[in-house]
Amino acid sequence: MHRRAFLRFRATAVSRLWTGNSYSCSRCCSSEPSTPQPRLVRIGCASGFWGDTAAAVPQMLYGGKLDFLVFDYLSEITMSLLARAKAKSPDLGYIPDFVSIAMAPYIKDIHRKGVRVISNAGGMNPLGCAAALHQVARNANVDLKIAVITGDDLMGELNNIKDTIIKEENGKLFPENVQSMNVYLGATPISKALDQGADIVVIGRCVDSSLVLGPLIHSFAWTRDEFSLLAAGSLAGHLIECGPQCTGGIFTDWHTVPKWHNIGFPIIEASSDGTFIVFKAPNTGGLVTFGTVAEQLVYEIDNPKEYLLPDVTCDFSQVSLTESAGIDGGVVKVQGAKGLPPSPFYKVNATYLDGFRATACCPMGGPRAIEKGKRMAESILERTRIMFHQRGYKDYSAVNLQILGSEETYGPHAKQNIEGGPREVVIWLAVFHKQKEALEIFSREIAPAGTGMAPGVTAIIGGRPKISPVLKPFFFFYPKKYIKINIFMNGQHVETFQEDISFTSDLTASHDEPQSQEDFKDLPSGPHVYRLEDLAYTRSGDKGNTANIGVIARHPLYYPYLKKTLTALAVENYFQHLLERERPEEILVSRYDLPGIYGLNFVLKNSLGGGGTASLRSDPQGKAFGQMLLDFKIKNVPDLKSLIE
């Protein structure tokens, strides 16, 4: 790319990313529209996970002017926890916080304002969740139609699935000791429940984005074959499903985000043509910018051209984001999602019991803290192994020893800036064992180290380590034609149906073609070196034992340099110390391009030590991977900052 061509590219790219017609939110801005506006629907998200702040509901309910309010609680880890809870008592297995914290204090105002609520708080027991909600409504003397959607639970088909349908998945045998199996349902049952007049819809396992897509299908009467509209609605749901993660939460430029204590939760206002804007509740903290929304767009996806959902296969690669400061905290217009027919299969999340785990976490201070911490942890392991042998127990199934503060998770990229190492560290010692009795020995032997081993141990965080059963995730695909979905309204069964699979196709995810270095031979070079943080935003997340890292250029002119330098191989080498290769030919890191936002998405297989509750690592979900990549060096480039001035 010669200098003149490069300058033309600069002008086009700058125009594409940073300009566009100004726009406003129909209910917040005072300017009168010059032409009749299409019908708009407003949806807010008040929970991104089980345990999210209770401050979200009142800011949404009293400041958001909403049509729908959604609550997303479920992750693979949460499903494991709910499966354990239901195993203890058949009345448990749903999210109690949804009933007691999110709904009970506000149910009269929700009813008065006519805000309709959709939530996956049903978890493993949606009927139990609805029963608890009915009691709350009776106590408040409000008349609400509460719909329940079931059909995601496959445990009744366990033997049939094991024996005749699924023999193995990804080369792994179907596991024993299965505790739960849940289909990721889509948006159709939610829209059907709303069509029947539901004020509140409770569902179990579903894809997170369907909580928003369902109300949009209901409101705009989108049909099953309007794939680009379904993709746009899915993107709207994807952007707000994690609450404030798209309004400045965990943003790369965290130092620019005001008022964390009152961070605004996200709201979308959508039109029937699939375009929508993202903003936040008024008079709250946080930001809505190109960067905050782009980071959430790449969060926990794989191939953006073939993002597989039950209702549609999405292509987010050409999505564009247009930023405006027209509303308190900013607003971003989103458009450009494309859709293809969905797969005839549902994804299934199973959990299975695989032994027990315990984690000891001990702060330590003083000189040579890293050395002391390692020796202490290794001595505890040696002592307990001797005790195991004396009692006839096998060795640990797995052990993970980390000295937090030593930058071990950075591997060869760790910095040692203090002579002699840090004087404050935390020992992280996590273990697996097939027998609970063996871990009871481990748990008892942590405290004696405080008086009989290294000086400087200040505490055992949380006291004696707790022993927990290990529920590991297992994923496979199951034909939609075998799933029957039921809708109940106020305790009465009203409908049974199956997904329409006439608009489906078999799609297999493909890898991006490797970028040839020939494509960059004319890209101007120079003597400058930048940290990735200077040129890009990053966001990382997880699905099982796979992590993803999204990288978005801060300016279009940076994008070709990121593409040239940040190859899949470069990222694999950077995280080599955290990747586990199961087969010699296995591709561990794949890269996908999102030119619409000048972004790259890296998918890292076998990178989380099993992931979730199956991992012994201090970062089992890869939440810090994006932050770790910020120190990656982009070398041999011109003075890029001067090019955009």
Last residue within a domain, chosen from 410, 440, 473:
473
Instruction: Report pLDDT for 571.
Output: 97
Instruction: Specify burial of residue 556 (Cβ count, 10 A radius: 0-12, 13-18, 19+).
Output: buried
Asked whether 435 and 397 are in contact (CB, 8 A), the reply is no
d(CA 614, CA 77): 9
Last residue within a domain, chosen from 343, 367, 383:
343
Question: How would residue 234 be classed by pLDDT, with cut points 50, 70 and 90?
Answer: very high
Other CB atoms within a 10 A radius of the CB of residue 622 amount to: 26
Q: For residue 349, which amino acid is it?
A: N
In a domain, 494, yes or no: no
Going by DSSP bridges, is the β-strand pair 599-604/633-637 parallel, antiparallel, or unpaired? unpaired
d(CA 164, CA 320): 45
- What is the domain extent for residue 565? 528-643
Please determine, for residue 10, whether its predicted confidence score (pLDDT) is greater than 80: no
Residues 422 and 333 in one domain: no
Residues 382 and 328 in one domain: no
**For 593, phi and psi rounded to 5 degrees?**
-100, 145
Instruction: Report pLDDT for 38.
Output: 65
Residues 432 and 575 in one domain: no
Selected residue with higher pLDDT from 190 and 644: 190
**For 540, phi and psi rounded to 5 degrees?**
-130, 155
Residues 170 and 197 in one domain: yes
Instruction: Report pLDDT for 326.
Output: 63
- The beta strands (E) that lie in 266-418 are given as 266-271, 276-280, 307-308, 313-315, 320-324, 331-335, 338-340, 345-365, 398-404
In a domain, 367, yes or no: yes
Residues 585 and 628 in one domain: yes
Residues 268 and 308 in one domain: yes
pTM of the model: 0.91
DSSP-assigned beta bridge partners for residue 113: none
| pLDDT per position as a tens digit, 459-517 | 999 999 999 999 888 888 999 999 999 999 999 999 999 988 887 776 554 545 555 55
In a domain, 513, yes or no: no
In a domain, 499, yes or no: no
Residues 81 and 224 in one domain: yes
Mean pLDDT of the residues in the chain: 90
Please determine, for residue 555, whether its predicted confidence score (pLDDT) is greater than 70: yes
Q: Which two tokens stand for residue 551?
A: 């990288």
Q: How far is CA 354 from each of CA 349, 357, 434, rounded to the nearest angstrom?
A: 16, 10, 7
**Mean pLDDT of the region 539-553:** 95
d(CA 100, CA 71): 14
In a domain, 20, yes or no: no
Last residue within a domain, chosen from 281, 314, 343:
343
In a domain, 569, yes or no: yes
Please determine, for residue 32, whether its predicted confidence score (pLDDT) is greater than 50: no
In a domain, 31, yes or no: no
Residues 627 and 568 in one domain: yes
**Please, which residues have CB within 8 angstroms of residue 466's CB and are 6 or more apart in sequence?**
358, 443
In a domain, 436, yes or no: yes
Dihedral of CA atoms 374, 380, 385, 391 in degrees, nearest 10, equals -170
Asked whether 48 and 242 are in contact (CB, 8 A), the reply is yes
Instruction: Report pLDDT for 165.
Output: 61
**For 339, phi and psi rounded to 5 degrees?**
-130, 150
Residues 457 and 383 in one domain: yes
Instruction: Report pLDDT for 418.
Output: 64
Q: What is the CATH number of the domain that holds 466?
A: 3.30.70
Please determine, for residue 20, whether its predicted confidence score (pLDDT) is greater than 70: no
Q: Picking from 183-192, 242-251, 264-273, 636-645, which range would have the lowest pLDDT averaged per residue?
A: 636-645
Residues 333 and 359 in one domain: no
Q: How many domains does the chain have?
A: 3
Please determine, for residue 172, whether its predicted confidence score (pLDDT) is greater than 80: no
Residues 199 and 228 in one domain: yes
Asked whether 489 and 195 are in contact (CB, 8 A), the reply is no
Q: Picking from 59-68, 136-145, 439-448, 503-512, which range would have the lowest pLDDT averaged per residue?
A: 503-512
Residues 337 and 392 in one domain: no
Please determine, for residue 396, whether its predicted confidence score (pLDDT) is greater than 80: yes
